[in-house]
Amino acid sequence: MSSESEKDKERLIQAAKLFFFHIRDLVSFINRFVELFNLTMKTQILPMNLNEESCIKDFFEQMIRNFKEMQLMVDGKHKQMQKEPLCSKVLTAVTPAVEKCATIAPHHTAEDMLKNIQTSGAALVLKTSHVLENLETSLSLLMQFPIMGLRLSDLYREETKEQSDVTSDATTSEKSTSPEHPKATTEETLRKLQDVLSPENAHTPVDTAADELEQFVKSMEITLQVLQKSIKTMEGDISVLTQVQGK
């Protein structure tokens, strides 16, 4: 076996392992995004469960369904905002304007109005930023990769669960890919990856499969970055509104 072939095998195994942890991060980030969305939009979208024995396609389909559902809610709230000019104006005002709004409409308390403004503000930001549409499009493009037919456990299998708890910490991948974690069954993983990622007439099937999977991982990293930025923005908005409500 040539050293070049061994190098390609190692590339493919490392790409598969990185993909495995990217999926865990993706589910974790999406669940944090859903948590913040529920908080700001007053909804009850359920978080995702990570089942490593399920088909990878199932994860992506569920994520896309979640974003479609969120988009419908945002569109509905945005349309409602168009019919409420008073609250639309208050969106750009500070706390005293909320008190005035409550005075004009005495059957609403200032707290009620502030909650309504919080929800409307979140809907406006999500609508104008197109973040939900971008995430849905990104996941839909990833769905076109042939690797979708595999299970997550086909790529990497942990023998220890010391760090199996998925968190929203951005360092999850760095921690999980430490040397302490055992490797998957190498030959079995290589065979499955070559079967789905390399065409039958490929001159260097391992090299071709490694290139394909590395490209997929890079595309996933872009989606993770968009999610992280969106989460930070939503966390910042919630922090500001919380401070306002506490005054």
pLDDT score, position 13: 92
What's the average model confidence in pLDDT over 26-36?
92
0.75 exceeded by the pTM? no
pLDDT score, position 110: 46
Do 45 and 37 form a contact (C-beta atoms < 8 A)?
yes
- How far is the C-alpha of 114 from the C-alpha of 120, rounded, in Å? 10
- How far is the C-alpha of 65 from the C-alpha of 51, rounded, in Å? 17
Please state, rounded to an integer, the average pLDDT across all residues of the chain. Answer: 74
Lowest mean per-residue pLDDT among 115-124, 142-151, 169-178, 182-191: 169-178
pLDDT score, position 223: 87
Kindly report, residue by residue over 179-220, the tens digit of the pLDDT.
444 444 678 888 889 899 988 777 888 999 999 999 999 989
Question: For residue 45, which of 75, 76, 69, 63 has the smallest C-alpha distance?
Answer: 69
User: Where in the chain are the domains?
Assistant: 3-159+171-242
Q: Which element (helix H / strand E) includes 50?
A: none
* pLDDT at position 106 over 50: no
* pLDDT at position 133 over 60: yes
Do 27 and 48 form a contact (C-beta atoms < 8 A)?
yes
pLDDT score, position 23: 92
DSSP per-residue string spanning 161-225: -TT-S--S-TTHHHHHTSTTSPP--HHHHHHHHHHHHS-TT-SSHHHHHHHHHHHHHHHHHHHHH
* pLDDT at position 136 over 90: no
